Amino acid sequence: MKEFQYTITDPIGLHARPAGLLVKEIGAFQSKVTVSANGKDADGKKLIMLMSLGIKKGMEVTCRIEGEDEEAAAEALQKFFKSNL
Amino acid sequence: MEKYTGKSVLKGIAVGKIYCYKKKNYTLEKTEVSDKKAEAGRFEEALEAAKEQLTALYEEALETVGEERAMIFEIHRMMLEDEDYLDTVRTAIGEGTNAEYAVNSAKEKYADLFASMDDEYMQARAADIRDISDRLINILAGVGEDTIHTDSPVIVLAEDLTPSETIRMDKSKILAFVTIRGSSNSHTAILARSMNLPSLVNTQMELNDGLNGKIAVVDGFNGEFLIEPQEELLEEMIRRKNKWETDTRELQLLKGKENITSDGRVISLYANIGSVKDVDAALEADAGGIGLFRSEFLYLGRNDYPTEEEQFRSYKAVLEKMNGRKVIIRTLDIGADKKVDYFQLEPEENPALGYRAIRICLDRPEIFITQLRAIYRASFYGTAAIMFPMIVSVDEIRRIKEIVNQVKTDLADEGCPIGDVELGIMVETPAAAVISDELAEEVEFFSIGTNDLTQYTLAVDRQNQKLESTCNTHHPAVLRLIEMTVRNGHEKGIWVGICGELAADTELTGMFLDMGVDELSVSPSSLLRVRKAVRDI
């Protein structure tokens, strides 16, 4: 399993647009991705639950990635968070 | 004539015939289904059809309103692929419920989830859940999405409009939207704005077919909807509409363009705002930032001082909406001429020369500290800057900075994150302009407040109508003080802007550029006009 933390710097947080892009990004991998913030977990492939985490600027988000392509997924997702959020 | 008022979405005028747009009726019913498998199949087909519709809408919107606005349809399509949402529907169907009712229960479940969140943006997402669910229900029930049927352009009057209905309508057939419900933050309002259609929402009137074909005026400047106005008024409105159309056609072309002269000089154009709700207008006008955020609205029209929390929320809202662009907040600028009884200010002979603005703040630091704490806490959520009004001496700035440093230390001790905040002053007294070389050593920017600078320099009361002719805003004394302030600022390496009414005076734009002014902050409605003036040089 791979895990990383990221603190959101985007002023609006995980709003609809980046949430949609994130789900797409995660969907490209086999691995199961769990996104946790605000004391709640969400399956990274499920847009509605992901948005309902209410992720805002300044919050720390934890991503846990488990599966055959976890190495590649973790790397791609870290890059995604840095450039979009 | 009938007259209704609503919330204006776009400042403009439309004149034309009313077209009442009605959604086809469908009454939701719960029925028992015996063939669950067939019902499930019916749902899967509807789901595919809905996704196809959304893909088509996305592509259509991509062409008409651009990628950023079109994204909403892409998000809707992705919501329709959400496993939790689909599971809720499929489970209900598996229990023998009809597909329409099953979708409706998923709609209520997830719309409630968003509606109960404590964030305004997320609450508005409940509307997206309702929109995608209604799309499915309409397909299942065979209620096709309707559009307008007309040969000549009309004013579309509707109960409410979904984004997809809005985008579906033939733009060449629409003069304006008027909706009886709806908010100015809805996707529909945003789309109307980007289509540059004068529109009103929340008019709270009755929708009846008798209105079809009647001549009406949508006045987005005053938020009024006039049905069958008298001939004279109608002619007057047509004149205003024609003028507005010619002006905007020219100005709208300037959105997204640089504020650059033909010989390559660039200036920043920011907007002046007086409350949180002005931010939308600033963004629509393509403002590079907020050059003057008057904080008085927090203090006026109430019985007690605004709390730190209240102020924090307002500043944070503006900073978040500006999405990283600079927001310059001017601290309290109040004196005996403003009606704020709880400040207990004594009546004065000359309030303009009296106990006001920074003078109150330095004398009653508790008021000042509350405001500064709120601004610094909010500064984490964007790019904030602070400017102090009515400065006349270096000593004042030093005393301000002591208080600011204390506030920052306290917040750091409390573990409260803050952003980098530029500190500047308003140059609006002749004293400040004259010693601007010394003041420039103490701050990071100047913003010249020309209204007060003119009145203090010329010793003319702005409110006195008899003195209007004496109050020459182009007086060489005022212009020389501006020029001197810019020069002194630049010599010390700080930037200098202008935020008074003079900033929007396009007769002076060329002179300001020659002086090397870095930024002009004007009302959102003047911004594109000033951009045009810059580009015409």
**Domain containing residue B42: CATH number:** 1.10.274.10
- Residue ranges, chain A, pLDDT below 70: none
- Is the confidence at residue B203, as pLDDT, over 70? yes
- Is the confidence at residue B466, as pLDDT, over 90? no
Q: Is A73 left (phi over 0), alpha (psi -120 to 50) or beta?
A: alpha
**B73, B104: one domain:** yes
Contacts of A17 in chain B (CB under 8 A): 68, 71, 75
User: Can you tell me the mean pLDDT for B90-108?
Assistant: 92
pLDDT tens-digit series, residues B323-362: 999 999 999 998 866 667 888 888 888 888 889 999 999 9
**B127, B154: one domain:** no
Say if B355 falls within a structural domain: yes
Beta-ladder partners of A6? A61
Contact: A20, B125; criterion CB under 8 Å = no
pLDDT of residue B14: 94
Within 13 Å and on the Cβ side, how many CA atoms surround B461? 10
Distance CA B361, CA B144 (A): 62
**B518, B374: one domain:** yes
pLDDT tens-digit series, residues B127-170: 889 889 988 998 888 776 667 788 889 999 988 887 777 777 77
Contacts of B81 in chain A (CB under 8 A): 47
CB-based contact A26:A41 (threshold 8 Å): no
Say if B47 falls within a structural domain: yes
pLDDT of residue B473: 81
Interfacial A residues in 14-53 facing B (CB < 8 Å): 15-17, 19-20, 23-24, 43, 45-49, 51-52
Say if B257 falls within a structural domain: no
Using CB atoms, which residue from B78, B122, B382 is nearest to A47? B78
**B181, B69: one domain:** no
- Is the confidence at residue B185, as pLDDT, over 60? no
CB-based contact A57:B319 (threshold 8 Å): no
Segments of A1-85 assigned E as strands: 2-7, 32-37, 40-43, 60-66
Contact: A51, B125; criterion CB under 8 Å = yes
| Cα torsion angle, B509, B513, B515, B519, sign | positive
User: Can you tell me the mean pLDDT for B17-41?
Assistant: 85
Contact: B83, A45; criterion CB under 8 Å = yes
Number of folded domains that form chain B: 3
Distances (CA, A) of B107 to B80, B100, B115: 11, 11, 12
Say if B517 falls within a structural domain: yes
Say if B524 falls within a structural domain: yes
pLDDT range class, residue B186, cuts 50, 70, 90? low
Using CB atoms, which residue from A48, A54, A58 is nearest to B82? A48
Angle at B491 between CA B485 and CA B494, to 5 degrees: 75
pLDDT of residue B470: 75
- CA-based R_g, chain A, Å: 11
Return the SS3 of B9. coil
Query: DSSP string spanning B395-418?
Result: HHHHHHHHHHHHHHHHHHHTT---
Distance CA B391, CA A74 (A): 54
**B435, B478: one domain:** yes
**B155, B134: one domain:** no
Residue of A nearest to B67 (CA): A17
User: Can you tell me the mean pLDDT for B276-302?
Assistant: 87
Domain that holds residue B104: 36-141
pLDDT of residue B187: 64
**B447, B321: one domain:** yes
**B424, B489: one domain:** yes
- Residue B294 DSSP code: E
Contacts of B119 in chain A (CB under 8 A): 54, 56
Strands A60-66 and B7-8: unpaired
Please list the active-site residues of B: 187, 499
Average pLDDT, rounded, for chain B = 89
Query: Locate tokens 């309409």: which residue?
Result: B138
**B401, B473: one domain:** yes
Distance CA B223, CA B90 (A): 45
CB-based contact B8:B97 (threshold 8 Å): no
Residue of A nearest to B73 (CA): A17
**B54, B191: one domain:** no
Query: Locate tokens 């070389």: which residue?
Result: B437
User: Can you tell me the mean pLDDT for B451-475?
Assistant: 82
Question: Closest Cα partner for B138 from B104, B91, B92?
Answer: B104
Q: Which residues contact residue B415 at a Cβ distance below 8 angstroms, ignoring those fewer than 6 apart?
A: none
In terms of pLDDT, which residue wins out, B376 or B196? B376
Say if B375 falls within a structural domain: yes
Question: Is ipTM strictly over 0.85?
Answer: no
> Both tokens of residue B441?
């050593």
User: Can you tell me the mean pLDDT for B228-236?
Assistant: 94
pLDDT of residue B146: 66
pLDDT tens-digit series, residues B392-417: 999 999 999 999 999 999 999 999 99
Helices marked H in B154-303 — which ranges?
163-168, 187-194, 231-252, 279-284
**B301, B325: one domain:** yes
Helices marked H in B326-383 — which ranges?
358-363, 365-378
Distance CA A1, CA A21 (A): 23
pLDDT of residue B303: 79
> Both tokens of residue B442?
């103490």
> Among the three residues B141, B159, B193, which one is the final residue of a domain in this structure?
B141
A2-84 placed in CATH 3.30.1340.10? yes
**B113, B150: one domain:** no
CB-based contact B177:B166 (threshold 8 Å): yes
| Cα torsion angle, B360, B366, B372, B375, sign | negative
Distances (CA, A) of A23 to A60, A82, B30, B55: 18, 16, 33, 17
